[in-house]
Amino acid sequence: MLRVIVRELRRIWLFPRYLVILTLGAVFSFVFFATVSGEGQPQELPVAVVDMDGTYLSRRLCHEIDATPAVHIKALYTNHTEARKAMQRGEVFAFYEIPEGIYNDLLQFRSPHLTLYTNQAYLLAGSLSYRQLATMGHLATGAVQREVLRKKGFKDDEIMGIIQPVALETHAVGNATGNYQIYLMTTLIPGIVALMAMLHTAYVIGRERQERTVKSWMRKAGGDAVKAMVGKALPYTLHYTLLLLVAEVVMYGPMHFPMQGNWPLLMLVSLLTVTAAQSAGCFLMGCIPDPSVAMSLTSAYGTLAFTMCGFSFPVDAMPLPMQLFSMLFPLRHYWLAMRDITLYGSGLEQCWPEVCVLAAFVLLLLIGAAMLGRQFERRVAC
């Protein structure tokens, strides 16, 4: 097997282009996600106000809305259609409509209505601005109440208890502020590295077939397809596991992402995720003789992992066949284990199923190797 590894290292040394490109690509992805969503939660989302009243009260409402950190008023309109058009142009994510005569209605106890329109076609921006603005709407009611109570002689701390009898504090486990960057990077970066490991392993196997050099490769392994496959994959296992570990060290170290659990377990899971992804690549490449067809199917399977790991849309909300299907993706198991280790501080007693399943993916490599060996004997695309 050592001879296979040496042969592979030689091939990398003579033709290092893709190793360099992919390493730079991983670094680029890391920098991209670290800088693009640096705020954690989107702040100062652009919103609009349709002020049909134009009185002291409506202007004060505008001020209060603008003072909320999550949004800022980008435009004032005088009618609904203009605001809706601005939303369709993508300029604002939400708008408030203050009806005409709100001040007079208020004075005459006619309970005027504020209306909030949010754009839910952008799920994140829509739901975050919705929460802030809906709370704002109710606080606006509170502001009017506050004036009334002040006139009645209540003190400010008493007023708060009256107009806001209950408050709700929401924290996310291990990520108290609901920081989006932490949520994204902890799944996407390992996902990208695992995808690269799988494609790269698949590619180098495909190259042997394309160049018709399977014979010399097999000879170095003494005719043992499993040895040949493992020897070929090992240099990449090392490279991509190292990349993933460096990314994790940077994320959970200097970037202060939450890390409650133990490092050795996370490292073990990372290593197993890389090998599992590689095994899946070996399997597809071993089974499908046409290397570039196999490569495109591997790509299709690889991109699906980002959906099937369940970090964006939960797997429990998918149909049952898809829930079972999600088991076939190493990233799904990485995600489950990573969540337990980093956010809940769980140990092996909680994560052992994921560790076992990831380890079992190596079976796929054996099957892939067996298929390759058989095709080699029959001289199919070798």
Q: Among residue numbers 26 through 45, which ones bind other proteins (CB under 8 A)?
A: 26, 29, 32-33, 35-39, 42-45
Q: How far is the CB of 1 from other proteins (least distance, A)?
A: 25
Greatest CA separation found in the chain?
A: 95
In which residue are the tokens 């992402």 written?
257
345/352 Cα distance (integer angstroms) = 14
Q: State how far the alpha carbon of 380 is from the alpha carbons of 15, 38, 220, 224, 296, in Å.
A: 26, 51, 19, 17, 19
Residues in 307-346 at the binding interface with other proteins, rule: CB under 8 A: 307-308, 310-314, 316-319, 322, 335, 339-340, 343-344, 346
Smaller CB separation from other proteins, 163 or 229:
163
Smaller CB separation from other proteins, 175 or 227:
175
Among 113, 215, 219, 374, binds other proteins (CB under 8 A): 113
In which residue are the tokens 């606080």 written?
139
Query: Smallest Cα–Cα separation from 5: which of 230, 207, 214, 177?
Result: 230
Among 56, 69, 155, 166, binds other proteins (CB under 8 A): 166
Q: Based on the shown chain and the rule CB under 8 A, indicate whether residue 131 belongs to the binding site for other proteins.
A: yes
Count residues binding other proteins (CB under 8 A).
Answer: 118
369/270 Cα distance (integer angstroms) = 23
Q: Are 333 and 244 in contact (CB under 8 A)?
A: no
First to last CA, the chain: 20
Q: Based on the shown chain and the rule CB under 8 A, indicate whether residue 357 belongs to the binding site for other proteins.
A: no
Among 34, 52, 125, 245, binds other proteins (CB under 8 A): 125
Residues in 50-109 at the binding interface with other proteins, rule: CB under 8 A: 84-85, 87-90, 93, 102, 106, 109
Q: How far is the CB of 25 from other proteins (least distance, A)?
A: 6
The one-letter code for the residue type at 65 is: I
Smaller CB separation from other proteins, 100 or 183:
183
